[in-house]
Amino acid sequence: MAALSAQAAIEWNRFSAFQEVTVRLIAERMLLEHLEMKGAMFVQSEVGGQAFAQIALTHKRRYHLYCSSNCKGASALADEMSAELGITIKWTSQLKELTACEHFLLYLTSFTWTSGVASVFAEEVCEALRLGVPLLLVYEFPSAIDDDTKRGACCFNDFFGTTAGRPSTYSTATPTYTSRSPSRSSRARGRRQRIQADRRRAQAGRVAQGGAGDDSTEARPRRWRAPPNHRRVYELDYGNQMRRQGTTHQASSEHAVGARPPRT
């Protein structure tokens, strides 16, 4: 047991990006005797081993991120990403500069919607959506070996049961949808249904008028008839067949007339 706790545990996560880190840490743990190789191993597709270039600002914007002061840990996270990735991330917490930002940093932790200023922060999120500023979601998920209370990590399902930070403009009523003009297929379907209903009512009226034991033509169900195009094809085929039979019969008759009589 002491040998197991002598070194720090390596956590396995279901996210593929973290699984690559876990594989690298396991390989380094197995090669502890080669200390000179410590830190020299890497996974080809590992995100942490890639070099990141400076992020350019577009559309004359001045900031990469908007980090609200009402979201706990948002500004510290921006500084941490800038230091870890080796790039410059410009951010601001001034709401009037929201349209000058590339993204709105939405840092999802256990403090996001449970703090006293959660409703104010929710209003800022609604304002960003109204102005068309994209949201950059960062989620602190629970860890098996890390301190979750310090980072504010929680299960993702907890966000759906939190109502403390619901904005005042949010309505729990069922949304109403504007009516749209029916499509061509739905109109045709409704027309067929009405025609079928009229036929059933007309047939029921004829049967009731004729009586249960009446054998008149009106009381009987109509016999199925082939469509006109089917009858036309049948007539053409029948005519071609008769012409072929007549040609064959004529040829056989001419052959019989012109044949030499048998010898006696």
What's the pLDDT tens digit per position in 3-49? 566 778 888 887 887 888 888 888 888 776 565 666 667 787 777 77
pLDDT of residue 66: 97
Average pLDDT over residues 127-137: 95
| Residue found by looking up tokens 């929680």 in the block | 154
Q: Which pLDDT tens digit goes with each residue over 216-230? A: 444 455 565 655 555
CA atoms within 13 A on the CB side of 217: 1
pTM of the full predicted structure? 0.55
Q: Is 92 helix (H, G, I), strand (E, B) or coil?
A: strand
Average pLDDT over residues 115-129: 92
Q: Are 17 and 49 in contact (CB under 8 A)?
A: no
* Burial grade of 254 (CB within 10 A; 0-12, 13-18, 19 or more): exposed
pLDDT of residue 99: 95
